[in-house]
Structure 1
Amino acid sequence: MSAHDNRPASAPTSTYRLQLNAGLTLRDAADLLDQLERLGVGTLYLSPILTATPGSQHGYDVVDPTSVAPALGGDEARSALAHKAHERGMGVVVDIVPNHVSVARPDTNPWWWDLLRLGPDSPYARFFDVDLSLPLLIPVLGEDAQEALTLTDGCLAYHDKRYPLAPGTHEHGDDAETVHRRQHYRLVSWRRGDSELTYRRFFDVDELAAVRVEDPTVFEAAHAEILRWAELGELDGLRLDHIDGLSDPGAYLRRLTARFPGWVVVEKILAPGEDLPQSWPVAGTTGYDALREYTGVLVDPTGEADLTALATGEGVPVDVGATDHTARLQAASTLLRTEVRRIAALVAPHAEEAVAELLAAFAVYRTYLPEGLPEWERAVALAGERRPDLATALAALDRHVRQDPGGEAARRIQQTSGMVVAMGTENTAFYRATRFIALNEVGGDPARFALTPEAFHTCAARREARRPHTMTTLSSHDSKRSEDVRARLAVLSELSADFAGAVRRWSATHPLPEPSLDLLGWQTLVGAWPIGEDRLTGYLLKAAREARLGTSWTEPDPAFEQAVRDWAPAVLTDLRQDVAAFVDRVRVPGWSNSLTQKALQLLGPGVPDLYQGTELWDLSLVDPDNRRPVDHRTRAEILARLESGWRPAVDSTGAAKLHLVRTCLHTRRELRPRGYTPLHAEGPAARHALAFARTSPGAHGPDLAVVGTRLPLTLESTGGWEETVLPLPPGPWTDRLTGRAVPPDRSDGATAPRLSELLGRYPVAVLVRG
């Protein structure tokens, strides 16, 4: 019997995401398998493992898609990991990057090196989305270009970067600049990248060049190694990064899944109410749509007025739509001007403004023509309403795309709209419209303050009916802040007036130098407390540069940034006691929210992903903060105690969360629940309970029920559960978290336990019938 005979046959029961790098290799991952299997994990989910730029901390900067990164242990370690996982009945899912490769170090990327060396004559010229009618512009030079450009070891060198020389272009005695002018490329100022680049990038990152995987030759070269793993039976699933960057995502997915029969999910942000195209042969997305719902249902809608008034009074924008449009238009007109100019040149030479306005008008990240024609029509109409003076140019764009929805202009508009939304909304507007940052998450919608329980149930039932094997998540490597930070921040909606008063008091003595950053800073301080000066300062500097209101990545303001650097040490010294006292009020209800949303995710519809380390409390912020090393040894020690029967209190150790995670994952792996039936509490505190039931294959009626607590602070202040009960399907039932039986209490065999008893030990219950 092969070691692979035990591998999962279909979708995972759950996944556990590991961020691999030189400090956590494939061999290290193999050493964690026993612990993860005991935790209840169904499948190991790995960050990209193909060869990346030397020193890469995340793997998305692939330089050679034909080999496993030596820094991670190479192919031998990958194969050994797969065998060890399959021996334990666990699967292996790998994250891949079909859209781009890294060109930061040309000498490490054989495709790019050959293109630079031979230009249009290179067999790799077709691999990249480049304009080779002119020399390829490489925006890397600083102010020292004249003296720093040299000829070194038969290459053109600029500091530590090396560039190849075309055959016959270097004669003895030639100076560097003369040789430079003979090449198929030109090294130019880094400032020219946004407006003059001759190759398509990932977002505005000059060092990530897009590849043309729509070309069958490129597809084969980019996927041969991955497909080889699958043919060996050593790969069970794929996570596809940045699917919206591809020329034709649907065609790509059909080509890939014809060769790879495993579980496939795509990194795709869905707007509220949006679905993946039905023609896509994938299980679903990576779960940011679900994340939005898990957080939203824990937010108290009555807190919106106070937080809006606070933001308005502090000078923070509260019109999310207007803030979004401004930021998107800025992204299109400046950061992505190269792409805008390229699109305009295909339609009308003077249509740049119209293209930028159109790209800023989409309600979704991308249309998929012709399927997405209604979204296209809405965007054209909205752009026309905003800029009637551009009516003629917009009409020309509309006609051009409708006449040829598969043509280059239509394709480039579709590829670029997602970049505009991501860079404008997620990377900019989310750092400007900071009224309530618990909502400012990847895939989030800050304009929708809260989600009702009824709407939550509708979303969950819809997921089960349409994409039952889609991934769901609460934290990821792309999260703006971790699940536990958001859970604590949700409590602020229950304490909105008090929090507004505290912010006004704190900000009066220690303001950050820009209103949006100031409001974000205080929420971050409370949400991530306790946090050290270095982490807090690093986060705020990144947030300020992303917002581009007082400083930016490309035009840093030294005085502004110094004020940001001075803020954390001053606040952590002068206001420590006051902030700590406020955090004491939200910490415990924040834990309640964390446990509730975790139970909803782990046992609800979809395939739940557990981001590394989040089985304990995790108060991480945006990357690189969320890629810090995880203390797996402490987690192993707590896991061993739980296996001996320990049922921990809900306290600062986070052991209660690990207890919940272990319980849910084992229950899910055992029952493999299906369906979705909302359960409704009865009594004075009914609105504070959120519950559902599911059914395992072959069971007669629901045999799993989950209940969590909503708005815990308000619940406590209004008298607790009192006589509130939760009617359950006929029992008996047992709560796996406490081990307590919940026997039938009605003559018809039904059960309606009091929530004061059911949720007396933990704010959640995991009930199994029998």
Structure 2
Amino acid sequence: MSPSISSPLPLATYRLQLHRSFTFAQAADILPYLNALGITDCYLSPVNRAMPGSEHGYDVINHAVLNPELGTEEDFSRFVDALRSQGLNLVIDTVPNHMGIGKTLNGWWRDVLENGPGSRYAAAFDIDWHPTKRELENKVLLPILGDQYGAVLERQDIHVAYDEGAFLLRYGDHELPLAPKTWVSLLSHQLDKLTREGEQDMPVMELRSIVTALKNLPAPDVRDPELIEERGREKEVIKKRLAALLGDNPLVRAFVMDNLRLFNGERDRADSFDLLDSLLNEQAYRLASWRVASEEINYRRFFDINELAAIRVEDEAVFQEAHQLLLRLIRQGIARGCRIDHVDGLYDPERYLRQLRDLTQQGGGDPGASPFYIIVEKILGRDESLPETWPIQGTTGYEFLNDVNGLFVAADHKRLFTEIYARVVGHDDTYADLVYAGKQLIMQVSMSSELNVLGHQLNVLSERDRRSRDFTLNSLTHAIREIIACFPVYRTYITDGPEPVSDRDRAYIHMAVARAKRRNPAIDGQVFDFIRSLLLKQGDARTPEDREEQMRFVMKFQQTTSPVTAKGVEDTVYYRYHRLISLNEVGGDPDRFGLSVDEFHRRMRDRQTRWPHGLSASSTHDTKRSEDVRARINVLSELPQEWKTRIGRWSRLNRSHRREIDGERLPDRNDEYLLYQTLIGAWPLEPLTDEAYRNFCDRIQRYMHKAVHEAKIHSSWINPSPTYDQALHDFIHTVLDRVPANRFLEDFLPFQERVARYGLYNSIAQVLLKVTAPGIPDVYQGAELWNFHLVDPDNRGPVDYVARAAALEELRVTIDRAGPDRAAFVRSLFEQPEDGRVKLLALMLGLDQRRRHPELFQQGDYLPLECGGSKKQHLCAFARVRDRQAVMTVVPRLVATLAPDEKRLPVGTSIWEDSWVTVPPWPTLGEYRHVLTGEIFTAESVNGRRVLPLSQVFGHCPVALLERLS
């Protein structure tokens, strides 16, 4: 095993998803395994306190403390000690964009609900306290009710309760605070009656005194910090007094409890709920059905998730509060880096990142040490570049993932696959049109509130200029929708300072407006021009106030385009467009059918120049399919004619299993097409027991259920169709029934097995590309062995680390002892790949190279290598070169058309014939050691080139990692 080394930057990261079933203690147990694998940095999901039961940690409710479900401070300290003992570092996932607010467990949010705009945390959340709906003035809309407000109220589902000196509102598992000043109505109702019963009674006098104290509390809308502090202090005093009074005096307690009974009303007596209704109307929130959220919600959310409220880290106080734990970990020398979740949701991403960079530099430690490692979760559009002014090391690697994936798609078959897909589904909608429609749908059904806000902002701006005042609210709102629907990237990065709009952002805005105009020839183009001028900071601002209002619109617009695109494309179109689903990946472009080797080299050289330390991901907790599922499905792109034949046959065999309702067969052909590709990609390698097969079928059912609901065509989360859902469930159940007469499975399984075999070569090739290309390889938990998981929650299940550690140790021992038999051993792993050890071996030995040559991989040049011969189109090869060091990566691609017999390894002269790969241009021919097999090859001189014959390089092993010896 290579020893752990200290490196200024990560050499390889391993992503762990922590939750109550996988805690700090369990993570500590696997660190020796990660070290043995070659990992240098443990990369954790968020560790801040999150909603109870959170499986992901992104619903943070307290940024200052560790999540108790992950363990205690002592557990975390032991985890850190274990990291240090293994020579490992820590990268932490950070969530600056939003917080969890479900069940009102978030202290900041609870304070806002209690005190409204006068809350000390009112500025922490992005709340519109003066929305267009007047009833919401100085209120937060809470869309948590399962039915209309009146119906819920009169069913007594909402009721007031008393708890330790305070009154609160209970609805299901929600507990909402009641503003202290409104307790007056609860305590003074019928108070005269109690007074007559005991005029001189000291407890009654104390109750009256408490009521007076409540009335004298500073009003909820005060903004003076001193008054806010006074209100909080006095409220606590009152709570103690009330708790003491009700605890000591049965008469007063009975009086208060009777008032609660009256306020909570009686079933079948509508007027008995007037008191409670009046009390609720006094609060700083308005309860509503969850169905009104899309149109009327007045706090910014994470995408369209009501339980995740956006926070305003652009406010310095909020920024500091939101990074308390991270700063502590930096000061203690525990964290070496962080991932920034959803950077596009921030008000001004670059300004935020500069603040964060400054914060990390103030965190302590050696001033001469390497900069804190910062990566951002950022999805780049086609040909979009990450802003080079951002003070970070790169992204989490979605663009790398999709570039590598594209290498294994047969680009020449794009037209054939487009025709096959159109024939199957019965229409030929373009991908661009689907994206446009998907974004329009999201703006209509999920985020119409955000669009209404933008429309009203724009209307106010237009009214201030006589040249634009005739634009109607409707036309302005419609134009905004059209521009966002046509926006070519997730967002622009215009700032509210004096900086001019960048050429990049200017081009995207012009493109979006031009596309919107073309799609709307009947609408006056001046409306679009007016909006474009504002977005380009060219609006006619006659006063500083005008300029401020214009910039507020621009910044809000930028924060809106990103979630609309994410929900409209990733979470809608990716579940509607199924031409080749391995391309429907986060950060991908399903319209780009494959990537040439030359284009791959160009992108990697650019990556080496611009972002050499960004993560190189292949699977993440957010990917739609694991790397191994995509690798299999890519094989289909090589077999268009056979795929066409199979699809036609399977459709005929399963036609009777589709249910006919109102003249329509369910499920539709598009969902059926998705199912077949999913089965190709996810089918387990190993033979399945009855129980294992049932589990697999259940996974497919759950995935397809999610897929059709995300697609929002026949069913959805908001408006589910039990009829369609049941028809889909029954279809899958029948199609996968392992009965002897299932002709579909008889035909499907041999084809799937053949595709799966080819997919394994794609998977191993991906491993070597990830480990050796520019960037820092990232391994998602469990993906070091075969991993055929689908989108979350399927990809967040438990990982058997005991089996992985044992397999790794066995491989180490066997490789060390194999000697001249090493090549034969490696070949045997490829010939019997079911247990995944061949993938583990490639990763282990590749990471060994990174630890042995850190400077080579962190600073070395990227050199594309020329390939020649009859099979050159099936090769991708490059070298990493620094001084006299070199490591060459040579991998096959499009193996299904290279080696038609899937049962034979694609190795030797019979496959590679006269093909060759050049070596880096040193004066001597040089010797190269095959890192996997141990073989040593000497370069040959052929027609003035120094080359290695592929029949030798791929003599035993169908992938190659070659280390220069001399």
Shared fold (TM-score greater than 0.5)? yes
For residue 727 of structure 1, what is the amino acid of its counterpart?
Answer: T
Match of 1:112 in 2: 109
**Equivalent position of 1:626 in the other structure:** 795
Q: Deviations over 1:563-602 (max 9, x none)?
A: 1111222111232222211112112110000011111111
Q: CA deviation at 1:317?
A: 4.5
Aligned twin of 1:377: 510
Taking a change above 3 Å as real, the CA distance of residues 390 and 33 of structure 1, as seen in their structure-2 partners, is farther
Which amino acid is 1:517 matched to?
A: D
Q: Does 1:339 find its partner at 2:450?
A: yes
1:136 to 136, 140, 147: 140
1:504 aligns with 2:508: no
Take 1:76 and 1:213, find their aligned partners in 2: how far apart are those partners? 30
Query: For residues 155-174 of structure 1, what are the structure 2 equivalents within 5 Å?
Result: 155-170=168-183, 171=186, 172=256, 173=259, 174=263
> Residues 726 and 754 of structure 1 are in contact (CA less than 8 Å); yes or no, is this contact kept in structure 2?
yes
Q: Which amino acid aligns with 2:122?
A: A
Residues 25-104 of structure 1 aligned to structure 2 (within 5 Å): 25-104=23-102
- Tell me the equivalent position of 2:267: none
1:124 aligns with 2:125: no
Could you tell me how far 1:472 is from its partner in structure 2?
A: 1.3
C-alpha displacement of 1:492:
0.4
Residue 339 of structure 2, aligned match among 219, 224, 239: 239
Residue 330 of structure 1 corresponds to 441
Which residue of the partner structure matches residue 494 of structure 1?
638
What is the one-letter code of the residue matched to 2:141? L
2:528: which partner in 1? Answer: 394
In structure 1, what is the equivalent of residue 783 of structure 2?
Answer: 614
Cα distance in 1 between the residues matched to 2:529 and 2:6: 52
**Distance (whole Å) between structure 2 residues aligned to residue 272 and residue 489 of structure 1:** 22
Are the equivalent residues in 1 in contact too, given 2:919–2:939 (CA < 8 A)? no
> Which of residues 365, 372, 375 is equivalent to 1:265?
375
SS in 2 for 1:597: helix
State the superposition RMSD in angstroms: 1.8
C-alpha separation in 2, matches of 1:217 and 1:676? 44
2:5–2:851 Cα contact (<8 Å) kept: no
Please report how far the alpha carbon of residue 216 of structure 1 lies from its aligned counterpart in structure 2 after TM superposition.
0.1
The equivalent of 2:669 in structure 1 is 515
What aligned pairs does 1:351-366 form with structure 2 within 5 A after superposition?
351-366=476-491
Q: Distance in 1 between matches of 2:926 and 2:24?
A: 45
Answer whether contact 1:324 1:424 (CA < 8 A) is retained: yes
Render the CA deviation track for 1:600-626: whole Å, top value 9, x for unaligned.
111110111110111001000000001
Residue 759 of structure 1 deviates from its aligned partner by 1.7
Q: Do structure 1's residue 731 and structure 2's residue 926 form an aligned pair?
A: yes
1:668 to 816, 830, 850: 850
Report if aligned partners of 2:571, 2:711 keep a CA contact under 8 Å in 1. Answer: yes
For residue 746 of structure 1, report the CA deviation from its aligned partner: 4.4
Pick from 617, 630, 644: which aligns with 2:813? 644
Which residue in the other structure is 1:527 paired with?
A: 681
Matched, 1:473 2:617: yes
* Counterpart secondary structure, 1:22: coil
Q: Distance in 2 between matches of 1:534 and 1:273?
A: 39
Q: Which residue of 1 aligns with 2:492?
A: 367
Matches within 5 A, 1:651-730: 651-672=833-854, 673=857, 674-696=860-882, 699-700=883-884, 702-717=885-900, 720-729=911-920, 730=925
Instruction: Confirm or deny: 8 A CA contact 1:333 1:356 kept in the other structure.
Output: no
Change (3 A) 1:407 1:311: same
* Letter matched to residue 646 of structure 2: A
Please state how far the C-alpha of 1:169 moved relative to its aligned partner.
1.5
Q: Are 2:758 and 1:589 equivalent residues in the alignment?
A: yes
Deviations 1:686-716 (A, max 9, x none): 11111100024xx32x510011011111111
Residue number among 300, 303, 314 corresponding to 1:200 in the alignment: 300
Amino acid at match of 2:513: V
Q: Which amino acid aligns with 1:319?
A: T
**Structure of greater Rg:** 2
Describe the SS at the equivalent of 2:422. helix
d(CA) in 2 for partners of 1:80, 1:739: 39
Could you say which residue in structure 1 is the equivalent of 2:704? 540
Deviation of 1:390 (Å):
5.0
Higher deviation after alignment, 187-196 or 309-318: 309-318
TM-score, length-normalised on structure 2?
0.77
Task: Measure the CA separation in 1 of the matches of 2:11 and 2:429.
Answer: 40
Quote how far apart the aligned CAs of 1:9 are: 5.1
2: distance between equivalents of 1:399 and 1:686? 51
Moved more, 164-173 or 111-120: 164-173
1:555 aligned onto 2:719? yes
Aligned pairs for 1:177-192 (under 5 A) are 177-192=277-292
Query: Gapped runs of 5+ residues in structure 2?
Result: 131-136, 187-255, 265-275, 361-370, 460-472, 495-500, 540-546, 659-665, 685-692, 816-824, 902-909
Q: How far apart are the structure 2 equivalents of 1:390 and 1:582?
A: 55
1:220 and 1:7, CA in 2 relative to 1: closer, same or farther beyond 3 A?
farther
What residue identity is the alignment partner of 1:268? K
Q: For 2:145 and 2:320, how far apart are their aligned partners in 1?
A: 34
Q: Distance in 2 between matches of 1:220 and 1:390?
A: 46
Q: Distance in 1 between matches of 2:453 and 2:869?
A: 62
Shift of 1:356: 1.1
Q: CA deviation at 1:306?
A: 2.9
Does the aligned pair in 2 maintain the 1:354–1:390 contact within 8 Å? no
- The 3-state SS of whatever aligns with 1:127 is coil
Corresponding letter in the other structure for 1:425 = V
Q: Secondary structure at the match of 1:541?
A: helix
Report the Cα distance in structure 1 between the residues aligned to 2:60 and 2:83, rounded to whole angstroms.
25
Given candidates 123, 136, 150, the residue that maps to 2:159 is 150
**Cα distance per residue 1:209-250 (max 9 Å; x no partner):** 000000000001111221111011010011000000000000
Q: Do the aligned partners of 2:926 and 2:964 also contact (CA within 8 Å) in 1? A: yes
- Aligned counterparts of 2:379 and 2:926: Cα–Cα separation in 1: 40
SS in 2 for 1:168: helix
Quick check: 1:663–1:737 contact (8 Å CA) kept in 2?
yes
Q: Distance in 2 between matches of 1:381 and 1:747?
A: 54
CA contact (8 A) 2:95 2:341 kept: yes
| AA aligned opposite 2:46 | P
Alignment-derived partner of residue 745 in structure 2: 576
CA contact (8 A) 1:21 1:59 kept: yes
Note if contact 1:317-1:433 (Cα within 8 Å) is conserved in structure 2. Answer: no
Any idea what the Cα deviations from partners look like across 1:358-390, whole Å, max 9, x if unmatched? 111111111111222221121122112211315
Query: Equivalent residue for 1:250?
Result: 350
Taking a change above 3 Å as real, the CA distance of residues 435 and 744 of structure 1, as seen in their structure-2 partners, is closer
Q: CA deviation at 1:415?
A: 0.6
Contact 1:731–1:749 under 8 Å retained in 2: no
Q: Secondary structure at the match of 1:157?
A: strand
Aligned-pair distance for 1:178?
Answer: 3.3
**Alpha-carbon deviations, 1:698-736, whole Å to 9, x = none?**
x32x51001101111111139621121222234211011
Moved more, 400-409 or 307-316: 400-409
Residue in 2 that maps onto 1:3? none
Q: Percent same amino acid among aligned pairs?
A: 38
Q: Aligned-pair distance for 1:537? A: 0.6
- Say whether the 8 Å CA contact 1:514–1:549 is kept in structure 2: no
Per the alignment, residue 955 of structure 2 pairs with 760
Structure 1 residue 177 displacement after superposition = 3.1
CA contact (8 A) 1:437 1:523 kept: yes
